[in-house]
Copies of this chain bind each other. A is one copy, B any other.
Amino acid sequence: MNNFLSGKAAELKPYTAGAQPAGGGIIKLNTNENPYPPSPEAAKALSRFNAAKLRLYPRTDGGELKSAAAKINDVPNSHVFCGNGSDEVLSFAFYAFFEDAVVFPDITYSFYPVWADFYGINYKTVPLDEQFNIPVDLMLGGGIVIANPNAPTGIALKLNQIETVLKRNRDNVVIIDEAYAVFGAQSAAPLIEKYPNLLVVTTLSKSHGLAGLRVAYALGQPHLIDGLERVKDSFNSYPLDAIAQVTAAAALYDTGYCKNTALKIIAARERTAERLSGLGFKVLPSKANFLFVSHAKLSAIEIKAYLEKNKIYVRYFNKPRIDNFLRISIGTDGQMDTVIKILRECCEKQ
């Protein structure tokens, strides 16, 4: 009974976000959240925020957040676009820069085809190779989107590989989605001055423990930033609230805290990867805050069920080529100890 829907809306296949199980004693490793709280500087900025200021509209351009992102990336403000999470920034970028045959890998962030369909943009997927690597030489099209590290594999391209893609697609925008880059990939941000076709998108959700605040930004030359502003101002002039702007800015400036928590997560990832390999898991080489794993003898669905019985939540994608894998976000050391212990039990039961 939805004959009020437009034809386009009726055809949408919306993105499915990871579940948000609640309750005591659960270990939630299904949506790649950072196990550590945001920087104390962010908490301080939040606690100092004067609610009376909320009566006024926020800055349309991100205000202090824009300045903070520019400063820590050592670029002018004109090279920064701020948005409501990288999902919004990427959505605007699809509209701004793509119209025909945007190209991305077959296995990647599953929102990319959703945005293409949303705006009626054609797309072409390029299959990852047998080892789940992106075949750099085949990334050619009317626009390119690469998650680096890729999701849900966690595998990263090197900077020279990104540069190859940029050089081969000089007439079209290449988006590098760096949601997870802080956990071990080389950022392409230093390349923006050299490549007018490069847009680097990053989010504070994972790197800064701010998934709940909905803040992201893009870096690129001013003509690309202006393109994003045009699209934003044709959709919603003020997508970032005043509290988010100052809280996120404070988090960005605390680069030491961000680095330290990333290092803790990287250490936990490497340790977990080693232990899971020892239990017979195939573990893809991850540069992200998650591991993508499959087991030779146990099905992903069995393992997931066993984990959930033990209140551990991970992510499963029922998709070709990866339907026997699980994506496990990296939690605290204690949480990963529990995960390893439960997975050992699960394997030994066989």
- Give chain A's interface residues, CB within 8 Å of chain B: 1-9, 12-18, 20, 28, 31, 33-38, 42-43, 46-47, 49, 51-60, 84-85, 87-88, 91, 95-99, 114-115, 117-119, 171-173, 196-197, 205, 209-214, 223-224, 226-227, 229-244, 247
Contact = CB atoms under 8 A, between A and B. Distances in A.
B241 A241 contact: yes
A199 to B, nearest CB: 9
This chain's copy number in the assembly = 2
A85 B232 CA distance: 13
Main secondary structure of the interface of A (DSSP, over half): loop
A53 B212 contact: yes
A237 B38 contact: no
A7 B120 CA distance: 13
A227 B31 CA distance: 25
A112 to B, nearest CB: 12
A225 B11 CA distance: 16
B211 A9 contact: no
Contact of A4 (B13, B53, B59, B224): B224
Contact of A226 (B2, B118, B231): B2
A38 B52 CA distance: 6
